[in-house]
Amino acid sequence: MSAQKIPNKIWANSGDSHFVEPDDLFDNALPKALADRMPKSQKFEGYEIVTVDGLEFRRSMPKPGKDGQSMGDIVSQRAPGANNPELRLKDLDEEGIWAEVTFPSIGIWASSIQSRDLMDAGVKALNDWAHDYIMKASPRLVPTASLSLLDIDDAIREVERVAELGFRAAFLPTAPPKGQRPYNDIDTWDPLWTALEKNNMVLAFHIGTEPVDASKRTGVVFGGPGGAVLNYTYTTFGGQIATMQLITSGALDRHPNLRVLVSEGGATWGPFIGDRMNEGYRQHGIYVRPELSKPPKQFLYEQVYASFQHDESAVAAMQHMGWNNVMWGSDYPHLEGTYGHTQKTLHELFDDAPEAVRKRITVGAFNDLFPEVGPPPADEFI
């Protein structure tokens, strides 16, 4: 039973959106010798040849059904704002989205780059493009900066560089690239956490971004019956593991001003993971190192934010389980997102929730991290 008036249009910020980069980004931004080594696709009848960093793969072309388009083509065509800021802002206005964090779409092949010089040049080109094309288009668009994690010193230098450009968040995959230590390795990662904290940049994980072995099938862990839902749900867990690694290794303890955003992975996992970490921290205390100044769940509740799209239980994670950092996200323009039905989704989620809960999840949590986007238009009532 709704206890308050319901606005006609619910405005929300999005903690998870994407831009689709132009095909010729690296050709235009990098010397030919480097550009030629960036991910490229040649399409043939029924298959494509992908080359990246000296490797070459044959891949059967996706079969979307009747018209032979790739899923990437479909995403771009169904949402022209996927790669056009002007059209995008029109979509955002129609959908009721005020501001959004945008992640790159460069895709699975980036993790196949193993050459330090290529990766470093690639992320610089990508970030410069995001700065010129996205950030300059509107203060409502908050692009995340990509980093090369093949070398931590390179990553730190890029944090310093993009902070000067005005970036407020850095995108990290939910697991480090091949050859790097896991995120709970303090000696490896603490200098990067220090740089992010010092430069007031949000550490933004996006689920489903674990590095993949390009010689194997991508994004497919389960086959057979139920595979689609199994694989989709499985993508959620990487963000939870990365979060636990940061908390249990003491990274958030040592960096109290570092904020972490886990995008697209839902939110109800936060209270659950927090409880499990607290239980482990106390009941297995004899094995615990490093010791923390607060229970693990408290770090999660205070410094970690999470975005969700449709999840019915996510509102309860804030309203009834006390995690104040639950944030809504559209995942525009992706198929699992809310494009085309954002208002319906927001009404389904929030019409029965107290106004304070709605405003916290749709606006307030986002504005904790990115206050510079300003407030959305005021609620309108009949």
Residues 198-227 touching other proteins, rule: CB under 8 A, are 215-218
Nearer to other proteins, 176 or 211 (CB): 211
Which region among 39-47, 238-246, 295-303, 371-379 touches other proteins (by CB under 8 A)? 39-47
Q: From the centroid of its chain, how far is CA 333? A: 13
CB 141 within 8 A of CB 56: no
What secondary structure letter does DSSP report for 114? -
Nearest approach, Cβ of 308 to other proteins (angstroms)? 17
Nearest approach, Cβ of 238 to other proteins (angstroms)? 21
**Euclidean distance between CA atoms 316 and 323, whole angstroms:** 9
Number of residues near other proteins (by CB under 8 A): 38
**Contact status: 341 vs other proteins (CB under 8 A):** yes
Residues 59-78 touching other proteins, rule: CB under 8 A, are 59-65, 71, 74, 77-78
Phi, psi of 16, rounded to the nearest 5 degrees: -160, 105
**Euclidean distance between CA atoms 260 and 274, whole angstroms:** 15
**Contact status: 320 vs other proteins (CB under 8 A):** no
Owner of token pair 């309108």: 380
Nearest approach, Cβ of 192 to other proteins (angstroms)? 32
Beta pairing class for 260-263 and 304-308: parallel
Asked, as a colleague might, if the bond just before 377 is cis with ω within 30 of 0, I would say: no
Nearest approach, Cβ of 126 to other proteins (angstroms)? 24
**Contact status: 27 vs other proteins (CB under 8 A):** no
Nearest approach, Cβ of 315 to other proteins (angstroms)? 16
Nearest approach, Cβ of 232 to other proteins (angstroms)? 13
Burial (CB count <10 Å: 0-12, 13-18, 19+), residue 370? buried
Q: Is 307 left (phi over 0), alpha (psi -120 to 50) or beta?
A: beta
Residues 229-258 touching other proteins, rule: CB under 8 A, are none
**Euclidean distance between CA atoms 289 and 193, whole angstroms:** 19
Q: Which residues bind other proteins (CB under 8 A)?
A: 2, 6, 8, 44-45, 47, 49, 56-65, 71, 74, 77-78, 94, 215-218, 335, 339-348, 351
